[in-house]
Amino acid sequence: MLENSSRMELSELGEFGLIKHLTQFVEIKNESTIKGIGDDAAVLDYKNKQILVSTDMLVEGIHFDLSYVPLKHLGYKTVAVNLSDIYAMNGTPKQITVSIAVSNRFSTEALEDLYNGINMACIKYGVDLVGGDTSSSRSGLIISVTVLGEADKQNIVYRSGAQQNDLLCVSGDLGGAYMGLQLLEREKQIFIETPGIQPDLEGYDYILERQLKPEARKDIHDLLRLLEVKPTSMIDISDGLASEILHICEQSKTGCTLYEEKIPIDPQTFETARLFNLDPTVCALSGGEDYELLFTIAMSDFDKIKHNPDITVIGHITDQASGSNLVDKTGNVHKITAQGWDAFMKRND
């Protein structure tokens, strides 16, 4: 792995020297990678598989704040959240490309930290870094990741496959990443008002990790295959549970009934939300960045998943005319509305 020792200016290496320096420890792990970094283009061979492609861009000041996000964590998160899109299609990610635009306020050592995180994620998830680009920037750090994956045609799962009476399921728990963000923002504000004060983050490890170092749910993807359960529809939860449910219902031309009491929320998430005078259910519905998998399964597959502690049935699919509804803990019914992340929503900051 790359090691920090002293500051080296980016101009000392130049663009191609920087790329060579940052990717010197990249190792090829997949047979489908014929040629990775080092030529005009990567060469991939997927034989009889269908190719899945997804791209995400992260912009400093919009998607992350380097005043409290370590670059190593950012590199890891950037890869993990992109791989999540491939798992949400029931596919297997194989290769990524990473492009960055960076200003001269960053040193070579800072970018080493970023790429150390990227490499850690590649090793954990078994994907190859096969290319990318670098550019200068006058507006902070910008990272763009493209992930390529593979799947047999008959195994791909779309958002549009949910059927009436299917069960609505979710992996893990929700709202933790949002509460981790609220905690970090609070401590940042305290630091601005009282420079030098140490952040009070003790005891919040779980929600901080959910925000700073989320994991793609490869384990759920593998588990469903082992249980011989093919979801009828699936999506990853990047923008909040409510938003993702509505995506599935819209694409599948269905409605749904979601039960508030069934939504899985970790105790630390719940207690922190209360500390911030927030409704934990609203945090789960609209917080985003959980990167859990939301999926539907046929009723006949319920017995296969019912004893798994990491999969929760939270509702069921209904006809389109019934709409998408939340049944709260008192039995009242509310229309589900999406209030999660929107990259183009007007903000005051």
pLDDT digits 0-9 by tens, 241-254:
999 999 999 999 99
pLDDT of residue 317: 98
Rg (CA), the chain: 21
pLDDT band at 349 (very low <50, low <70, confident <90, very high): very low
CATH architecture entry for 159-335: Alpha-Beta Complex (3.90)
Q: Please give the helix or strand (H or E) that residue 325 lies within, else none.
A: strand 324-327
Is 90 exceeded by the pLDDT of residue 302?
A: yes
Domains 10-153 and 159-335 equal at CATH topology level: no
CA distance 152 to 308: 26
**pTM assigned to the model:** 0.88
Segment 213-217 shows an average pLDDT of 97
pLDDT of residue 39: 53
- Least Cα distance to 224 among 83, 54, 92, 51 occurs for 92
CA distance 176 to 236: 15
Question: What is the fold of 10-153?
Answer: 60s Ribosomal Protein L30; Chain: A; (3.30.1330)
Task: Give the 3-state secondary structure of residue 176.
Answer: helix
C-alpha dihedral over 221, 225, 229, 234, to 10 degrees? Answer: 30
The percentage of the chain sitting over the pLDDT mark of 90, rounded to a whole number, equals 72
Going from N- to C-terminal start, the domains of the chain cover 10-153, 159-335
Q: What is the pLDDT of residues 119-155, one digit of tens each?
A: 999 999 999 999 888 888 887 899 999 999 999 999 9
Segment 200-216 shows an average pLDDT of 96
